[in-house]
Amino acid sequence: MNKPLRILQLVLLSLLLSSFHNQKNETFDLKIDVKELRNSKGTVLFALYNREDAFPDEHYKKYLKKLTGKIVKGTSTVTFENLPKGKYAVNILHDENNDGRIKKGLVMPKEGIGFSNYQSIGFSNRPSFPKASFDLLSDKRIVVKIIYM
């Protein structure tokens, strides 16, 4: 085999391997907004999940990543950075007393909660990973509705 052809083959192989490596390690950012919080007390806890067996997570222990957002004029925003492509779901708590847990009455939460892809929750509309999940294939921004019972 002649030298120029061999060099061309090596260059093409190098480009192919580089392309595969870059695709494999590609990561994305997920920006999450909550609006219409009923007050500016406390903080907002944003928990991100990538497994069906971890969601919903009432005690906030099975999350993939967790961020806390400040409340400014009834809104809060966080960004989860460098996430690999995949399927994710979000669980949010308006933690008015800053204890990291859902404050409950007899059964229902007294603080605001929210889940990706949910506008309301109830006995017939319980949060589940299949319904709350979404595909992250590029940088993405979502708005999650906070529900007060």
Give 25's pLDDT tier (boundaries 50, 70, 90).
confident
Q: How far apart are CA 126 and CA 122, in angstroms?
A: 6
Mean pLDDT on 108-123? 91
Higher pLDDT, 84 or 107: 84
Q: What pTM does this model have?
A: 0.82
Domain ranges, ordered by start, for the chain: 26-143
The CATH architecture one would assign to domain 26-143 is Sandwich (2.60)
* Cβ atoms within 10 Å, residue 6: 10
